Amino acid sequence: MSFILASASPRRKQLLAGLISEFEIEPSRFEEVGAGLSAYQTARAFAEGKARDVAARHPHDAVLGSDTVVSLNGVILGKPADDADARRMLRLLSGRTHTVYTGICLIADGKQYLDVAQADVTFEELTDAVIEAYVATGKPLDKAGAYGIQDGFPLVKRYAGSFSCIMGLPVERLAGMLREAGLLR
């Protein structure tokens, strides 16, 4: 049995490599449509959809799907469409606290394990100069909420919860799932 990560995210690949030494990557083709769902429900449904999509093509392998959602006062901030959208999101988050939800779904040996982790993140008051410098790196464009806590910019004042959840793969929760599925000692 192979282990497959249903994501092209370099952050998820890096985090998973800390738990599983050998795995393949096959990005999911799951269409992320979730109108009317809460941020928690969206993270859960999208993680499950991604895992099921890849598992349907690899029924004898273990498949991991994951999805991260940023929620500010109940409004979901997805990946920005462009630099202007990234600036808009960063201004919205500036000086405020938001919640990051990361859903994980593991399918192995005909069983499904599904969980959602959450963390609260409070941003610094961001200056236009910091926002412009960060957007100029291109890093915000592939991340929910237009930021990566690990990117080394002075964006986050504090957080409560799992750092890896904020990055996109809650390794503490995943390790428990992998043990339950007999895939990790």
Alpha-carbon dihedral sign for residues 73, 135, 118, 26: positive
In CATH, what number is assigned to the domain containing residue 12? 3.90.950.10
Number of domains in the chain: 1
Is the pLDDT assigned to residue 34 strictly greater than 80? Answer: no
- Residue ranges of alpha helices (H) inside the chain are 10-17, 39-57, 83-93, 128-136, 163-167, 171-180
pLDDT, residue 51, reads 98
Host domain of residue 169: 3-180
Is the pLDDT assigned to residue 36 strictly greater than 80? Answer: yes
Q: Which of 61, 67, 83, 109 is catalytic?
A: 67
How many other β-carbons are positioned within 10 Å of the β-carbon of residue 98? 19
* Residue 74 covered by a domain: yes
pLDDT, residue 124, reads 98
67 is catalytic: yes
Residue where the block lists tokens 């200056």: 127
* Residue 92 covered by a domain: yes
pLDDT in tens, 63-84: 999 999 999 999 999 999 999 9
pLDDT, residue 146, reads 98
pLDDT, residue 86, reads 98
Rounded to an integer, the average pLDDT of 16-36 is 92
Name the pTM for this structure: 0.95
